[in-house]
Amino acid sequence: MRELFQYVPGDSLIHRLNPITKLLLTVAICAAAFVTDSLIFLVLLLLIDLLIGFVAGVPKKTLSILKGLLKIAAFLFLLQALLTRRGQPVFWIVTDQGLLTAGKVVLRLMVVCMPLTLVLAVTRISDLANALVQVLHVPYKYAFTLTTTIRFIPQFLEEMGDIMEAQTARGVEFDKARGVKKLGMILPLCAPLLISSVRRADSTAVAAEARGFHLRTAQSGYKRYPFRMIDGIAALLCVLLIVFAAII
């Protein structure tokens, strides 16, 4: 799970885009997924997500994300298909409208979840924070909070894994538990994770203050993030994607 959010160095077309352009691409794909009501267009957006991953040179990570989402998607598809009562019956209590609605819900979930993870895989967190401050003039403390949250996600997941391994060594059988029972066994582990999270946040705050966090401005960073022709083309494609989704 830690590798899922890890930056992958490269010199691909996606790597060379401005960090803000990558965020715009993510927002455009997510917006198009919610604007459109076409099942075919949602499939096209999913293919665009996969294409971005392959062009960026991270095919294994792209397929890994897709595989993880398929597990959640299968459950949501079944749930949505059983709960929707509109339309003509197909078999048992499942209707044609239920299947169509379930397909749209699942595809939207997959289309929306993939772009941001792929963007984080081809963008350094520091570049993302600095670009937000320099280009969009976001206050540094807000950009720092956002990027720090993203950076801590894999660390928290790793700590939770270590806590579960420690409990397993003490005789707690997580592997044999299923469903609600397993959830009930995991919930008490949130207390030590919360304590370690508070300690980590406190040490991070002390380190940031020691490095002059309150003195940081948009001009403090040495690296600049200019927009090039490739960023303009990508931005135009984002606008066309949303417009086409609205028309469809």
Do 232 and 112 fall into the same domain?
yes
Number of domains in the chain: 2
- Total-model pTM: 0.76
Do 52 and 88 fall into the same domain?
yes
Do 168 and 69 fall into the same domain?
no
Do 21 and 85 fall into the same domain?
yes
Do 18 and 37 fall into the same domain?
yes
pLDDT of residue 15: 86
Q: For the chain, what is the largest distance between any 2 Cα atoms, rounded to a whole number of angstroms? A: 66
Task: Read off the pLDDT band of 47 (50, 70, 90).
Answer: very high
Which range, of 35-39, 57-61, 91-95, 241-245, averages the lowest pLDDT?
A: 91-95
pLDDT at 220 over 70: no
Domain limits at 170? Answer: 138-215
Domain assignment of residue 220, yes or no: no
Do 207 and 238 fall into the same domain?
no
Beta bridge partners of 89: 95
Rounded distance between C-alpha atoms, residue 83 and residue 248, angstroms: 27
